[in-house]
């Protein structure tokens, strides 16, 4: 278990890496989530929505 400080996902994974892995820049994903008022959702809810509504996969690009 890590004992270091908790980092934001943007600090752990750069914008270029997000775009390379998903085909979309981070800003696009945030805009989609903001349009759904997802700021109150849990991580699990966000992940489920991305898979269900955006066809996202855990390992990479959306179809």
User: What are the tens digits of pLDDT across the range 35-56?
Assistant: 999 999 999 999 899 889 888 7
pTM of the model: 0.65
Q: What is the mean pLDDT of residues 1-11?
A: 57
pLDDT at 22: 85
> If phi over 0 gives left and psi between -120 and 50 gives alpha, with beta otherwise, what is residue 2?
beta
- The structural domain count of the chain equals 1
In a domain, 2, yes or no: no
pLDDT at 63: 42
- Confidence at 9, pLDDT banded by 50, 70, 90: low
Range of the domain at 33: 11-54
């Amino acid at each position: 278990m890590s004992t270091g400080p908790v980092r934001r996902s943007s600090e752990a994974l750069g914008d270029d890496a997000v775009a390379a892995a998903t085909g979309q820049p981070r800003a696009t994903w945030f805009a989609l989530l903001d349009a759904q008022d997802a700021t109150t959702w849990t991580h699990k809810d966000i992940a489920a929505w991305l898979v269900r509504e955006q066809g996202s996969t855990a390992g990479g690009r959306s179809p």
